[in-house]
Amino acid sequence: MSDLRSAQWYSGNDRNAYIHRAWMRRGLPGHAFDGRPQIAIANTASDLTPCNSHLDEVAESVKQGVWEAGGVPLNLPVVSLGETQLRPTAMLWRNMAAMATEEMLRGNPVDGVVLLGGCDKTIPALLMAAASVDLPAVVVPGGPMLSGTFRGVPLGCGTDVWRLSEEVRAGELSERDFLESESCMIRSRGHCNTMGTASTMGLLAEALGTTLPGTAGLPAPDSRLLARAHETGGLAVEMVREGRRPSDLFSAGSFHNAIVALAALGGSTNAVVHLLAIAGRLGVPLTLDDFDRIGAEVPLLVDLQPAGRFLMEDFHRAGGLHAVLRQVQDLLDPAALTVTGRPLVDHLGGHPGIWDPEVIRTREAPLQAAAGIAVLRGNLAPDGAIIKPAAASPHLMRHRGRAVVFDSIEDLHARLDDPDLDVDADSVLVLRGCGPKGYPGMPEVSNMPLPEKLLKQGVRDMVRVCDGRMSGTAYGTVVLHVAPEAAAGGPLDRVRTGDPIVLDVENRRIDVDIPQEELDRREPSKALLDGVARPHRGWERLYVDTVMGADTGADLDFLVGSSGDQVARESH
Ligand code: FES
């Protein structure tokens, strides 16, 4: 009997093997069951995940590569999460998608898997699943869309929605022009084309070592993506034959490399919760402080929206991820492996240089000398909070202002534009009840809009503090992922409008400047407690009861770690 996992289903002449083979004979030749690696293609293509709708075509290329290498490709549609369509927030189901994919991989006769993702949560969920089932696994990132333009100016997908809608609120853009831009934004298939979460996680999947090197960042319509998908199919067969599993390949060094890449790229803050969650599945001891420690010496080299000027098509044209990694090669872990079985740094050697130094800077001329995500602590965030200095205003990095507190998103929407709201440009907007448990799902609301009356005065950024997340396509001086969250008893639940809030990024502090005894004495806001989610049944109930804090990746407590690939019992 073959030592492949799938042989436990297919080999032998008994009734069980008969049933397993017979129901799969829908045109498959007999030799499909003669000990060939069975490769699942975990496919998040869905019409309701528009960023991933082209992945069926990518899957066809993977299939050809699997057949060519002597394996059997098997399409496995898995839970798909469309960032723009799902309410209340796609993040509510990242862990569900990971759990469902893990279980389908474990329960089925497969030896390895190719993971097809793109839109924000899909690659993180697939990697969490692959880590927990620990089958040979390789990612094909679906790639970003091409750059759209509006009246001759490139439109950043996502980022320019925030900008244009603020211009309408400020009275600088007509509603008609705003609506005209809508059909200009999405030029092609693929995910958002800024350095948002999807671009970031596709690129970090490669920095982690989970893709065929040179694949991440290829635009979705680029024919080279299909060629890479074909090669990836062959690689998956090779990985099964050589027994390359996630637990063998990925280490603390892999996450070190991903954090270096995150800083150099100026990537999304969402990468923090996703990398923490993936590390948790692998048993790699990654902490929030590792992001600050490792990222602190990394320069920002990529001038992409939301913080910069260019888009992913420009990034690819300028040399892409390998051009960036070559600039910071001395900061990378030289031993961290990839799915090829060789270290990441081995794959950078022959790559040519930077083709457009406006888009990708050299080490000698960075956009910022130190670009890592800063981890803040203080009496407002005992377990930590984060800020992305690359997306913040330098003049607000050290700031003191009066809190204007909102107890929920609904409260924010109801009062933000009230002309009588007591707020000025120095105020600090505080939004709570938006953490993993509170909303639930930790929505991307931390970059709350500015009060209309301040926009009309020309104010374009303010310090904002929130226990939720921020869209990777957003920007601003936003302190986010505050932990513990207000709904879990974090001190944010006792802040009151008028309290002085002090932000000091250089010293990594976020505090409310009132005596600690007074903060301890206060009762949590009743409006906050009345507003937090208390679901009675279903996934939301399971989620709220078991989700952990943002500081550890917002996974469910019982999903941390791996269960391996073995099925406990046979049924037939
Ligand atoms: Fe899918 Fe932005 S909405 S990547």
Q: What is the CATH number of the domain that holds 428?
A: 3.50.30.80
In a domain, residue 361? The reply is: no
For 161-171, b where at least 16 C-beta lie within 10 A, e where not — what string?
Answer: bbbbebbebbe
Helical residues (DSSP H) of 209-355, grouped into ranges: 223-242, 246-249, 252-265, 270-282, 288-295, 312-317, 320-327
- Residue 189 DSSP class: S
Q: 194 CA to middle of ligand 1, Å?
A: 10
Q: Tell me phi and psi for residue 114, to 5 degrees.
A: -105, 130
Among 63, 196, 12, smallest CA distance to 119 is for 196
Q: 515 CA to middle of ligand 1, Å?
A: 43
Residue 217 Cβ inside 6 Å of ligand 1? The answer reads no
Residue 192 Cβ inside 6 Å of ligand 1? The answer reads yes
Task: Please check whether residues 64 and 9 belong to one and the same domain.
Answer: no
Beta strands of 126-252 (E only): which ranges?
Answer: 137-141, 148-150, 153-155
Question: 211 in helix, strand or coil?
Answer: strand
Residue 75 Cβ inside 6 Å of ligand 1? The answer reads no
Question: 352 in helix, strand or coil?
Answer: coil
Among 261, 254, 253, 255, smallest CA distance to 324 is for 261
Task: Please check whether residues 141 and 157 belong to one and the same domain.
Answer: no
Q: Which amino acid, 172?
A: E
Q: Which amino acid, 362?
A: T
In a domain, residue 175? The reply is: yes
Q: 85 CA to middle of ligand 1, Å?
A: 10
Residue 384 Cβ inside 6 Å of ligand 1? The answer reads no
Number of domains comprising the chain: 4
Query: Which of 191, 203, 305, 469 should be mutated for ligand 1, with most atoms under 8 A from CB?
Result: 191
Q: 193 CA to middle of ligand 1, Å?
A: 9
- List, run by run, the mean pLDDT of 10-residue segments along the chain (572 residues): 91 94 93 95 98 98 98 98 95 98 98 98 98 98 96 89 86 92 93 96 98 98 98 98 97 98 95 98 97 95 92 97 96 98 92 88 93 94 94 94 97 95 97 96 93 92 97 87 97 98 97 96 95 93 98 98 88 66
Residue 51 Cβ inside 6 Å of ligand 1? The answer reads yes
- Which residue's CA is the nearest one to ligand 1's atom 2? 192
Q: 198 CA to middle of ligand 1, Å?
A: 6
- Which residue's CA is the nearest one to ligand 1's atom 1? 119
Q: 436 CA to middle of ligand 1, Å?
A: 20
Residue 196 Cβ inside 6 Å of ligand 1? The answer reads yes
Residue 472 Cβ inside 6 Å of ligand 1? The answer reads no
Task: Please check whether residues 436 and 456 belong to one and the same domain.
Answer: yes
Question: 414 in helix, strand or coil?
Answer: helix
Residue 198 Cβ inside 6 Å of ligand 1? The answer reads yes
Taking the C-alpha atoms of residue 296 and residue 31, their distance in angstroms, rounded to an integer, is 54
Query: Which of 47, 192, 203 should be mutated for ligand 1, with most atoms under 8 A from CB?
Result: 192
Among 7, 10, 239, smallest CA distance to 112 is for 239
Taking the C-alpha atoms of residue 354 and residue 89, their distance in angstroms, rounded to an integer, is 37
Task: Please check whether residues 130 and 254 belong to one and the same domain.
Answer: yes
> Last residue of some domain: 135, 167, 185?
185
Q: 307 CA to middle of ligand 1, Å?
A: 17
Element containing residue 58 per DSSP (H, E): helix 55-68
Residue 189 Cβ inside 6 Å of ligand 1? The answer reads no
In a domain, residue 463? The reply is: yes
Residue carrying structure tokens 């200009």: 184
In a domain, residue 314? The reply is: yes
Task: Please check whether residues 141 and 172 belong to one and the same domain.
Answer: no
Task: Please check whether residues 99 and 163 belong to one and the same domain.
Answer: no
Residue 84 Cβ inside 6 Å of ligand 1? The answer reads yes
Residue carrying structure tokens 């048993």: 283
Residue 81 Cβ inside 6 Å of ligand 1? The answer reads no
Residue 158 Cβ inside 6 Å of ligand 1? The answer reads yes
Residue 306 Cβ inside 6 Å of ligand 1? The answer reads no
In a domain, residue 568? The reply is: no
Taking the C-alpha atoms of residue 129 and residue 329, their distance in angstroms, rounded to an integer, is 29
Residue 83 Cβ inside 6 Å of ligand 1? The answer reads yes
Task: Please check whether residues 302 and 401 belong to one and the same domain.
Answer: no
Query: Which of 84, 312, 469 should be mutated for ligand 1, with most atoms under 8 A from CB?
Result: 84
Task: Please check whether residues 141 and 158 belong to one and the same domain.
Answer: no
Residue 90 Cβ inside 6 Å of ligand 1? The answer reads no
Query: Which of 83, 123, 270 should be mutated for ligand 1, with most atoms under 8 A from CB?
Result: 83
Among 266, 279, 115, smallest CA distance to 200 is for 266
Q: 418 CA to middle of ligand 1, Å?
A: 32
Residue 120 Cβ inside 6 Å of ligand 1? The answer reads yes
Taking the C-alpha atoms of residue 8 and residue 30, their distance in angstroms, rounded to an integer, is 17
Question: Given the CA of residue 52, which atom of ligand 1 is nearest to it?
Answer: 1
Q: 192 CA to middle of ligand 1, Å?
A: 5
Q: 118 CA to middle of ligand 1, Å?
A: 8
Question: Given the CA of residue 472, which atom of ligand 1 is nearest to it?
Answer: 2
CA distances (Å), origin 9, targets 102, 113, 383, 549, 567: 18, 17, 47, 40, 11
Q: 299 CA to middle of ligand 1, Å?
A: 26
Taking the C-alpha atoms of residue 527 and residue 484, their distance in angstroms, rounded to an integer, is 18
Q: 50 CA to middle of ligand 1, Å?
A: 8
**CB count, 10 Å around CB of 35?**
14
Contact 343, 337 (CB under 8 A): yes
| Stated length of the chain | 572
Q: 371 CA to middle of ligand 1, Å?
A: 24
Task: Please check whether residues 381 and 520 belong to one and the same domain.
Answer: yes
Taking the C-alpha atoms of residue 121 and residue 271, their distance in angstroms, rounded to an integer, is 10
Residue 191 Cβ inside 6 Å of ligand 1? The answer reads yes
- Residue 233 DSSP class: H
Element containing residue 130 per DSSP (H, E): helix 122-133
- Residue 525 DSSP class: P
Q: 191 CA to middle of ligand 1, Å?
A: 5
Taking the C-alpha atoms of residue 502 and residue 380, their distance in angstroms, rounded to an integer, is 10
Task: Please check whether residues 513 and 441 belong to one and the same domain.
Answer: yes
Task: Please check whether residues 328 and 419 belong to one and the same domain.
Answer: no
Taking the C-alpha atoms of residue 299 and residue 371, their distance in angstroms, rounded to an integer, is 5
Taking the C-alpha atoms of residue 30 and residue 28, their distance in angstroms, rounded to an integer, is 7
Task: Please check whether residues 8 and 77 belong to one and the same domain.
Answer: no
In a domain, residue 358? The reply is: no
In a domain, residue 502? The reply is: yes
In a domain, residue 262? The reply is: yes
Q: 90 CA to middle of ligand 1, Å?
A: 11
Partners of residue 428 on adjacent β-strands: 403, 463
Q: Kindly give, in sequence order, each residue whose CB lies less than 8 Å from that of residue 60, ignoring residues fewer than 6 positions away.
A: none
CA neighbours closer than 13 Å in the CB half-sphere of residue 249: 27
Among 386, 367, 346, smallest CA distance to 265 is for 367
Q: 404 CA to middle of ligand 1, Å?
A: 31
CA neighbours closer than 13 Å in the CB half-sphere of residue 385: 38
Range of the domain at 177: 149-185
Contact 465, 501 (CB under 8 A): yes
Q: Which amino acid, 286?
A: L
Structure tokens at 474: 């957003």
**What's the count of helices (H) and strands (E) in the chain, helices before strands?**
20, 14
